[in-house]
Chains A and B, each alone.
Chain A
Amino acid sequence: MGQKLTAGDRLLLVLALMIVASLYAVYWGGSVYGNQAVIAIAGKHWRTVDLYEDGIYNVKGPLGVSRLEVHEGRIRFISSPCDNKQCIHQGWIQQSGEIVACVPNTISVRILGPDPRFDTMNF
Chain B
Amino acid sequence: MASIQSSEKDHIIAWLAALAITIHIIESALPTPLPGVKPGLANVVTLVALLSWGWRVAVWISMLRVLVGSLLIGTFLTPTFFLSFSGACCSLAGLAFVQVLSRKLPALAAGPVGFGVVSALMHMVGQFWAAYWLFIPHKALFHLLPVLMTMALIFGIVSGVIAARVVTNLNSNTESLSKILQ
Contact = CB atoms under 8 A, between A and B. Distances in A.
A27 B145 contact: yes
A28 B111 contact: no
Contact of A23 (B107, B111, B146, B165): B146
Contacts of B164: 1, 4
Interface string A12-23: 110011011001
A20 B110 contact: no
B63 interface: no
Nearest to B150: A20
B39 to A, nearest CB: 17
Contact of B153 (A1, A20, A28): A20
A23 B147 CA distance: 9
B17 interface: no
A27 B142 contact: yes
A5 interface: yes
A24 B108 CA distance: 28
A4 B111 contact: yes
Given A19-B149, A23-B149, A9 B111 contact: yes
Contact of B110 (A8, A19, A28): A8
Interface stretch (B8-16, B23-31, B113-121, B129-137): B113-121
Interface residues of B, number: 27
A7 B110 CA distance: 7
B109 interface: yes
Nearest to A7: B108
Interface in A28-48: 28
Interface in B140-181: 142-143, 145-146, 149-150, 153, 156-157, 160-161, 164-165
A47 B84 CA distance: 55
B102 interface: yes
A6 B109 contact: yes
B67 interface: no
B87 interface: no
B95 to A, nearest CB: 12
Contacts of A9: 110-114, 117, 160
Given A8-B111, A20-B150, 17 more contacts: A1-B164, A4-B112, A6-B111, A7-B108, A8-B102, A8-B110, A9-B113, A12-B98, A12-B110, A12-B114, A12-B117, A13-B117, A13-B157, A16-B153, A23-B146, A24-B146, A27-B143
Interface of A: 1, 4-9, 11-13, 16-17, 19-20, 23-24, 27-28
Interface of B: 98, 102, 105, 107-114, 117-118, 121, 142-143, 145-146, 149-150, 153, 156-157, 160-161, 164-165
